[in-house]
Amino acid sequence: VMSTGLQGGTSFMEDYTYHFEKGNDLVLGSHMLEVCPSIAVEEKPILDVQHLGIGGKDDPARLIFNTQTGPAIVASLIDLGDRYRLLVNCIDTVKTPHSLPKLP
């Protein structure tokens, strides 16, 4: 629904880790299992079973893919107890600077 009629896709993401370097700040967005392939570069993402290490369950199957680069919008809905706050930011997605095989 969120991307109907628009080029690209939409997905559930979290800020996974930060890279603070003057002039080269980066945020790695990731999520364990709920990432949508509508943002993938590859026509057919890889489906692979990998160890998760939390939850005490069998290792889950997950989609593995790179994302499109270019302008994007991130939005975060925050529960403040008696109200909500919606933060929206325009960002530029970039190619991953190196392989990250151990990340979800």
Segment 22-78, tens digit of pLDDT:
998 888 877 766 778 888 888 888 888 888 777 888 988 888 888 888 998 888 889
Instruction: Answer yes or no: are the C-beta atoms of 45 and 63 closer than 8 Å.
Output: yes
Q: Residue type for 103, please? A: L
Residues 6 and 90: their CA atoms lie apart, in Å, by: 16
44's tokens: 């057919």
Segment 66-81, tens digit of pLDDT:
888 899 888 888 999 9
Q: What is the pTM of this model?
A: 0.68
pLDDT over 60 at 104, yes or no? no
Instruction: Answer yes or no: are the C-beta atoms of 85 and 97 closer than 8 Å.
Output: no
